[in-house]
Structure 1
């Protein structure tokens, strides 16, 4: 993400409509319940764990307090795993902002989160590290001080462990630096080295090795920022610029790549501002992570994928509705509810919340808001019943189940109603008719007024 002051406002002549996702495709953006940026994907035990920074809903410039986690096994339906760390994880850090681009890596049964933060009284950033035993944390500050001491360039860390076990930490804007991490991953040996200037490099480096090639992807020169990359045959360079993965585009003043291989495919993560512009024609630092599938060229180079509106990621496998599915597993949701006659008036739509007792759940389920779950395989015999686990329901609230479209065939309607004591989770169920084969499932929330109708924890179908 760019740190070159507050970026100029962008004039947009029309409000961008909430995009529709084609069935079984992951289009931009993939997370709609919150503003997310700086994707740091990690593949672990067959799951993609997507760590992100988090722009607050009222952000104008950068307003970032914590780091979030989402997971997927099909690259289209993403499950909200909640907040994994925050500025409070580092009590010696400034607590008002600066939870900027993170990087997470797993080794020896531990998960290490590297993040740039600020220290009171110092107009410079440091890089801190926290450790967890599980992908979802909790992450704990193990040093009580910075890993990388204050300097102007200390943002956007990226870590890779080479085949010989040596870990490298890169970071920096507008210059790029690296250091060799020790085996403990929370200290380093040797000097901090400044890398020779890479053409079009600005920030947001993403360092990794694939086959015999080392890659350094990055946000290209601000502003606007695209995504470029360079290659080397050594982990410390020299780096040869190879060109854009996505060219500079006026629709984004910032960027940050994350690249992984998963289930036989290669994926580029980044972000755009599409949901911000669905709210307002003015530019704010309210970003949204998205993903694109791509194929490397035979020589290991990466093709130009163009912008997010020309890319997507196909669904890799269908979803089994006969096991417990977390309600916060979402391919698309109505983030906004707008009056078509007054397009600048808006109210927040579905989002998620969480607590120690219940974990993460869906809330703010206002009338006519909905969740789409892609590629649900009901099988040839089909489903006979649907069970939803809910709380805090109000009189007259309902959950309507439709196939393939928000106005598609109704397969069942769950009467939620008044669930009684606050915070008490109860099952509500209904008979199902017509749920056969593979379909996108739409869960529509129905009720009166603009209040939240009920909270929603998990669901499943019964054959």
Structure 2
């Protein structure tokens, strides 16, 4: 467990360092916008793609909070700065932005993201990190705050917010409760107000990291145990009506994505974990979108080492949702 904790702490520090570097080079200074960028030339964790029908444009964002746009998924233009946070809020003047998502709803566009204020500490030196939602009239932003100053308890480290409207007709924010704080990461839900300007009620647990049969880490005595990490939930429904959820953890030191299915067909579950990961090793934090010609795709990131540094970059996979269970197909080399 000590070795495992060291690995995760080292990984978290690496991600933090990369994000801080991105802030200095890209957020505090206007980024240089480039055109005709191949997908695999973009460095990006947690890639999210909105296929916006009104503009017939694909919009991609993720960790770092920037935006790229494309007409064909092959060539991209960006990055653009789109988030305008309140410097007087708990986020501070220059929050780190993680795992941003874009959702269109009732004529508006919503920016679900995790914001970190390094100046605020929550016990044992943990930086305040929480999910929040911004709004815009346009997919390209700017995205600005709404009414409520917080969406989740201020003393709870949360991340990787996403959106799902359940069978009760209500919208919900799904999120992870950080394993660094509870030592067994969770995926939870909380009801959103109809205009997404805040939340109502209390969070409800859906499942824990330890429920996974495929994730692994080492105990102090060298024996295996389930991994602590929950990351990147994404809810979907197959064409047969089966409700599923992608989510990511680790198999020892390999980032890996699994899937669970709800027996009840609602967010309340119970959620039954598949025995094996759904994607190849070294891929995680995936989401699904449908292209303008109707093809289902998974946007996901992978890793490679460049001059001793871990670089994260987006990839696309073919996906088949015609049955009760999602089937991931081949990786698309050029993004088509």
Provide the TM-score with structure 1 as the length reference: 0.52
| 2:220 aligned partner | none
Residue of structure 2 aligned with 1:49, choices 59, 62, 65: 59
| 2:299 aligned partner | 269
Q: What is the aligned residue count? A: 271
| 1:183/1:87 CA distance change after superposition, 3 Å | closer
RMSD (Å), alpha carbons = 3.1
| 1:244 aligned partner | 277
> Structure 1 residue 313: deviation in Å?
5.8
Residue of structure 1 aligned with 2:43, choices 28, 35, 44: 35
Q: Structure 1 CA distance, aligned partners of 2:50 and 2:168?
A: 20
Query: Over residues 51-101 of structure 1, what are the superposed CA-to-partner deviations in whole Å (9 max), with x where a residue is unaligned?
Result: 2223xxxxxxxxxxxx11222332222232612116667753145553111
| 1:89/1:162 CA distance change after superposition, 3 Å | farther
Residue of structure 2 aligned with 1:290, choices 304, 312, 315: 315
> Structure 1 residue 302: deviation in Å?
2.2
| 1:294/1:304 CA distance change after superposition, 3 Å | closer
1:300 aligns with 2:328: no
* Aligned partners of 1:258 and 1:269 also within 8 Å: yes
* Aligned partners of 2:61 and 2:68 also within 8 Å: yes
> Structure 1 residue 31: deviation in Å?
4.6
Query: Over residues 249-271 of structure 1, what are the superposed CA-to-partner deviations in whole Å (9 max), with x where a residue is unaligned?
Result: 3xx6xx31111122221111111
Task: Output aligned runs, 1:365-376, within 5 Å.
Answer: none
| 1:259/1:104 CA distance change after superposition, 3 Å | same
| 1:256 aligned partner | 285
Q: Structure 2 CA distance, aligned partners of 1:35 and 1:88?
A: 27
| 1:315/1:141 CA distance change after superposition, 3 Å | closer
| 1:186 aligned partner | 197
Greater helix content: 2
> Structure 1 residue 161: deviation in Å?
2.6
| 2:142 aligned partner | 138
Task: Output aligned runs, 1:91-106, within 5 Å.
Answer: 91-95=89-93, 98-106=96-104
**Is there any run of 5+ residues in structure 1 with no aligned partner, and where?**
11-28, 55-66, 317-463
| 1:430 aligned partner | none
Residue 37 of structure 1: SS of its match in structure 2? coil
| 2:18 aligned partner | none
| 2:27 aligned partner | none
| 1:227 aligned partner | 257
> Structure 1 residue 235: deviation in Å?
2.7
* Aligned partners of 2:319 and 2:328 also within 8 Å: no
Q: Structure 2 CA distance, aligned partners of 1:288 and 1:89?
A: 30
Residue 248 of structure 1: SS of its match in structure 2? coil
Q: Structure 1 CA distance, aligned partners of 2:323 and 2:103?
A: 27
* Aligned partners of 1:228 and 1:247 also within 8 Å: no
| 1:167/1:210 CA distance change after superposition, 3 Å | farther
Residue 99 of structure 1: SS of its match in structure 2? strand
Task: Output aligned runs, 1:120-131, within 5 Å.
Answer: 120-123=119-122, 124-131=128-135
1:6 aligns with 2:31: no
| 1:452 aligned partner | none
| 2:230 aligned partner | 202
| 1:176/1:266 CA distance change after superposition, 3 Å | same
* Aligned partners of 1:75 and 1:313 also within 8 Å: no
Q: Structure 2 CA distance, aligned partners of 1:100 and 1:9?
A: 14
Provide the TM-score with structure 2 as the length reference: 0.70
Q: Structure 1 CA distance, aligned partners of 2:155 and 2:12?
A: 25
> Structure 1 residue 234: deviation in Å?
1.4
> Structure 1 residue 158: deviation in Å?
0.9
Q: Structure 2 CA distance, aligned partners of 1:169 and 1:82?
A: 26
1:176 aligns with 2:205: no
Task: Output aligned runs, 1:61-76, within 5 Å.
Answer: 67-76=65-74
* Aligned partners of 2:63 and 2:99 also within 8 Å: yes
Task: Output aligned runs, 1:7-26, within 5 Å.
Answer: 7=11
Residue 309 of structure 2: SS of its match in structure 1? coil
Mark the structure with the bigger radius of gyration.
1
